[in-house]
Chain A
Amino acid sequence: MQTVRGSKPAAAQRNAVAARRGRAVRLAVQCKAVEPKKILMMGGTRFIGLYLARELVAQGHEVTLYTRGKKAITTQIADDTDASYAKFKGAVKHIAGDRQDSDDVVAKLKGSGFQVVYDINGREAVEAEPLLKALKPSLEQYIYCSSAGVYLKSDQMPHREEDAVDPKSRHKGKLDTEELLARSGVNWTSIRPVYIYGPLNYNPVEEHFFHRIKAGRPIVVPGSGMQVTQLGHVKDLSDAFVACLGNPKAARQVFNISGERFVTFDGLAKACAKAAGAPEPEIVHFNPKEFDFGKKKAFPMRDQHFFASVDKAQELLGWTPKFGLVDGLKDSYAKDFGRGQFRKAADFEPDDMVLAKAGKKKTVVMA
């Protein structure tokens, strides 16, 4: 049985190194404390923004969330104490509005004096335009949440920031936004996360595995299971966003942000089981060409190698991920999914299709 990293002595040694580096990094970040800024966050009530807003408020910045108001502006999360939540709730501000309504956005933001924008939920370039227009007199920095999904699929990996992007990707809007920002003359930074995970994740990344592990089911994996991908903890992503603030090294730069290590599909299934304190799961491989799952997914990841180097952010921003994969998944499990909370109910129909064909219990080696 292949034990997952995090339980071996070598891992302890590496963790010690990372901890030393982490301490040095945190010290460096503290020494470069930024003066309080008036910050506008587009979004902020769902996932990434929950953590980022808290970090920014804790650092003394004035944070305003711009949302439609469909979700409560603040809710207490597992990381909060009653006291810390009360403080955060009292400090964070809100503008209610629909960012799809450009004129309304301009009207609401004109003269507002926001110095920094964290655009967490922007999808199309047109959504960034009213912000640039309205905030021109005061805007010092525009920090955008893009996606590593913009990279063109490649046989040479990992993706690095200078690599070719895919104009046909479904993340084209992110690319367009990056290009708009670059053309606009504003001091911009674009962050390209890979797969984000962590407590309160609304994308079925770890949730997919935790459902199956909880049900004691095999995990079906496309192809060989040797495809390599990468997960990044939402708090590490939040740290990276904070590291960009007032940082001249972030000016006009793109950064991949995710975990430091890469993981195979099979490995991810095993890591989730370990995080849930469950025995190693049965893995059943299948050939995706032999199935039509309709709109449902048998596996949450795109069926290809998908991982990016975070070297640039580590070098230029003095940022480094604090979570290893198993530690991060344990965090997500302990604070969210392990409490019986799920965003979507389990749907094992695709799994059952695969298992039926495989005659269950049979592991098929697929090319």
Chain B
Amino acid sequence: MQFQAASGSRAFGAARASRRAAVTVRADKCLIVNTKGGGHAFIGYHLAKQLAAKGHDVTIFNDGDQAKLSAKAPFNQYPTLKGVKVAWGNPTDYSTFPEGPFDVVYDNNGKDLDSCKPLIDAAKGMVKHYVFVSSAGAYKADSIEPMHVEGDERKASAGHVAVENYLKEEGLPYTVFQPLYIYGPHTAKDCEQWFVDRVIRDRPVPIPVPGVQLVTLTHVEDVASMLAAVPGNKAAVGQHYNVCSDRAVTFQGIVKAVGKALGKEPKVVLYSPEEIGTGKSGKAEGFPFRTVHFFASSEKAKRELGWRPAHDFMGDVDALVKEYKASGRAAKEIDFSVDDKILKAVA
């Protein structure tokens, strides 16, 4: 289905665009193309919710097998979204797309040019705003000044960068968002749960040395609120924004906080993935995060989009632990084979 230019009868932006977000009172027709799994899967649900609450006309178009995925988080929440249309299909095949035209398209699915190009080509010249949910994982790690700021060098191998370049070359009115790790309700990927799994079962927590690595963990509602600030915001066109909390936490800090929330004294076992052969170059088998510092500045989004995070991880830990307990996960069988391998190697 080809995208068509939005009807001219709808005024574009009631408020004049200024560098800070203007409060616009108008409805955009928004399409969220959503991924079928991973850490970004629940962004679509929360974004849809927030856009709908702002009065926009929202459609989610989800990749993947509807039959298999509808019973799982976050997709099992879609029926609770009032007034949001949901369709399933293949984002690289136009014929499966819901009917446009759309004012704003969010690509929360593709990670490389092959998967993103068909959607970009279809949207070109037609949408008022094209939003690509990229990743701060594309930044090259910097061991000297570790915080990632927009404009910093990215990895040569990052597929996302090719997509961004294509958006620029093709002249779309784009905004690129770069989230880090995300936590919150209805996620498809573990974040803090990895830590709770161990502490709640009184298991030692294996942490890659030195344990002081800083990582930004961001609540999905804060991610969604930044993305939802885009419709009608001309200042965001052509810009990149890091999407993250303005706080980072250390690995050891996460363990301590989870322990405190559970009323336990957790035991941390520091180990070197390189030395025991379970990882290298910033990765460690079985560990949910990169093993280097991974935190970013969201100051640009605050300045230009008027965005503010409502959450910080330490403030949320109690609620997250409560949620974990309520889910019944404490009774589940968790695979600790990698932990056992590590603990054995360290002993």
Interface size class of A (residues with CB under 8 A): 35 or more
List the A residue with the shortest CB-CB distance to B302. Answer: A311
Instruction: Please tell me if the beta carbons of B293 and A14 are within 8 angstroms of each other in the complex.
Output: no
Find the B residue at minimum CB distance from A159.
B247
The verdict on A10 contacting B248 (CB below 8 Å), with A267-B143, A305-B214 known, is no
B209 touches A367 (CB 8 A): yes
A228/B302 contact (C-beta < 8 A), A10-B153, A13-B151, A14-B152 known:
no
B250: Cβ under 8 A from any A Cβ: yes
* Interchain CB contact under 8 A, A14 and B212: no
When the two chains form their complex, are residues A311 and B151 in contact, meaning their CB atoms are under 8 A apart? no
Q: Which residues of B contact A236 (CB under 8 A)?
A: none
Most chain A beta-carbon contacts within 10 A, residue among B145, B275, B302: B145
* Set of chain A residues within 8 Å of B270, measured between Cβ atoms: 367
Given A10-B151, A311-B302, A367-B270, check contact A262 B210 (CB 8 Å): no
Size category, B interface: 35 or more
Question: From residue 278 to 310 of chain B, which have CB atoms closer than 8 A to chain A?
Answer: 293, 299, 302-303
Name A157's closest neighbour in chain B (CB-CB): B248
CA distance A219 to B312 in the complex (A): 36
Main secondary structure of the interface of B (DSSP, over half): loop
Partner of B249, one of A155, A227, A325: A155
Q: Is A96 an interface residue (CB 8 A)?
A: no
- Chain A residues within 8 Å of B252, by CB: 155
Find out whether the CB atom of B151 lies under 8 angstroms from the CB atom of A17: yes
**Known A267-B145, A309-B246, A365-B272: A226·B153 in contact at CB below 8 Å:** no
Partner pick for B147 among A156, A262, A314, CB 8 A cutoff: A262
Q: How distant is B287 from chain A, measured CB to nearest CB, in Å? A: 15
B210-243 contact mask (Cβ, 8 Å, vs A): 1 or 0: 1111100000000000000000000000000000
Chain B residues packing against A (C-beta within 8 Å): 142-147, 149, 151-153, 209-214, 246-250, 252-254, 256-257, 270, 272, 275, 293, 299, 302-303, 312-314
- Could you give 20 example pairs across A and B, Cβ below 8 Å? A2-B143, A14-B149, A14-B152, A155-B250, A155-B253, A156-B253, A157-B248, A157-B250, A228-B214, A261-B145, A263-B144, A263-B145, A267-B144, A271-B144, A305-B212, A305-B250, A315-B303, A325-B145, A367-B209, A367-B270
Binding site for B on A (CB under 8 A): 2, 4-5, 8, 10, 13-14, 17, 154-158, 160, 223-224, 226-228, 261-264, 266-267, 270-271, 305, 309, 311, 314-315, 325, 365-367
